[in-house]
A and B are shown apart, each in its own frame.
Chain A
Amino acid sequence: MRRLLGLLVIVLFITLFALVIASGGFGYEVPPSRVRELARQFLVYAYNPFNTTFTVKSPEAVTSIVWDFRGLDTLFETLVFYLAIIGALSLYRGIESGKRAEVISLGLSPIVKTVTKLTAGIIITVAASIALHGHLTPGGGFQGGATAAVAPLLILIVFSKYFLENLGLRKNVLLALRSIGLLGIGVTAFSALIIGLAAGSPAYVFQNQPKPDAPVGLPVHIGDSLISGTLWFFNFFEMFAVAAGFTVIFLLLGIPEGEVLKQLREEVGEH
């Protein structure tokens, strides 16, 4: 009875509180009847062919914000992810994953293997579409890369870690791929500045389209395809950095615990 009374009080309180907020009891409307000024500016300037000095030329407002309006923020987010994986790698330093030449007998049954072969290709295709259309539809480099990393994860579980490594996706290859991705992001960030220096006009780091005092910018179209200047390149390189980063972690976690402990004990024994 006491519990029921308590429940009744809670439900009544929440209902009344919601009613007061919804009817404007705190002096403002919820939800607001008009778009807020900042949101309105993002919507107006994301793709604006009439105002070429403030636009990103991308119909996807979220990607415009993430890679242009607050592009520096996203660069440091990428760096945090990069450092987190370096941290994980340093924990596993010196631990060899072991090699096996014969890997066909490992893993799950042929039925699951056949289905995985079909779906891994589809997953990569979807991931590429999410990342490379990031400036047109919801999605982007991180989302595409995270999706792409599911394919090696599936292969790791269904076939085996050794199968994945025999395919060529070894730790060092993935680390190189990840570094190339980050290097690409860095070069793209400086691209407008490089163009500006070459053309002898002022330019900014992380500039995409021409600005009032910096008239250089990256091309909006390649052929007939909209690429929105730097956005397509950022998404493209971010996909590689993220997919390779996640795959490295999956490979490290795939090392059998017994093997890790054995190698750690040998290391301790040497000292």
Chain B
Amino acid sequence: MSAISSYARALAAATGTAAPIATVRHVHLSERPLVLVPLTLAGEANAPLAALVGTRQADPTLLVVPQPRNRDLRFAFAADLAEIVLPHVLGFAADAEELANGPRAHDAPQLILPNPAGLAFLRLFGRSTRFRATDGDYAVPPSVPLLGRWLTFFAERAEIPGSSLARAVTDLLSLHWATGQSALEDANLAAAMGWIDPPPGRDGPTSARLAEDPAHSPPAGPTTDPGFDNDILAPAIAAYDAVTDPAALPTVLARLRDVLRGQLQPTWDLVWRALDLLRQLPPGASVAGRWETDRARYTGFHTYMAEEGLPQARLDGAVAAARRLNRIEQAQSAYDAERAFDDPLVMADHRVTGEAFQGTVLAVDRDRRVPNGRGKGRLVTRPLLTVRTEDPVRLTLGTRVVASSRRKQECLIVAIDTPGGDDGLTGAGAGTGTGADGGRSATGATLITLEAQSGMGRSAAPAPGSVPEAGETLCYSAVLADGVRSVAMPDAADTPWTHGGPPEPYEPNERDTAEAWD
């Protein structure tokens, strides 16, 4: 939670409709996302029960496992799913541009799941299929382990902040809207959508309550409603198990497919409605850049699968795990910074906490030159800007800040002149905050002096337009991508004994392929 999102939650609770907490879309949305709504059998270890899958709302494919405890039927499901997922996923690689360090596809596949539990299903289903052998005792079609490796790739990318390759819809919604209920309740897709886009004539709370009734709105899975399990699914599966006459099978299967479609279809429609809503928001400025990284990762994995194609190990080794953690941390900090620069509503959060401030440039010493500090008496251009802000700044001298509209220019805070030294220029701030009792907060404007460090071109005088003009309104933020390089990791083969020593190189073995799945 944050100040802005909590305030927005309060607003939503008071008005009965969700309140926006983003003005742009922070995620890439594919023209042709592959939506997957999976269901599992309760109690079992990620045993698939059914799924709706497809790239268009109008024609999803329904896959059903009539007896989820039967491993042959489970693998038949995996093979069917592979028939749909693999052609789609692999199809993007053909259209690629050649870069210095290899090819990069122009577009990449995107997987959309209803909720984080759906992503967890993806990860576990990938895990349970990627080691399967295509010959021997428990042979499966070659597409099954291939599907497993791709699903694992998507599930792993889903853990990288800012990646759009595989996303859960509930996460996307709560990134852009605050509802008038708790975050815990937002995990229910239908309830969250009830707040954000209630049907005509209903408000958020009423729709959300209705959404919680499994009879009115089946859960978005993968766990099914226990009532449905006991009253409808169990008899339908029992009927399937009891079939002895092959002629009776179609009727029994049709019944199972019917009841499962009934559980899946509402979620399927909600997912597409949510995607439509998100599409109405214009994409943030850095969304394309992050998608470029996704495209590169996708292409890289595609190449790897074509060349080596070994399944991902069960567990990361020490070095691989440390690297991965590092990547996640760096991606998180870059993502946080970019989102704030892209979106004034996200930036507002940093302004409330005093890590960012918006203000007007009062004065500019554009041609200021100072010794570069490395001796030899050379001078460098270091313009000074004085910015006046009414924000509650909590930054210290020497902090690096960057303006959202001038992202290539880093500045250092060299002076802060706090309120008290009132210059009488107390203009009323915009918005609702300076009401009756607002006098106390509005009287004090802070003057901040910044020294521009970069982004002014190579010549002695700053390039035209490269330094802000007096009168310009800017928003400076100290929430920047963490540019610190991590310590160099040893080679995996040199993993110290404190971390378990060099990991055994991974080779698919008997134990993996013969793993019981019952």
Q: Do A and B come from one complex?
A: no
A binding-site residues for B, Cβ under 8 Å: none
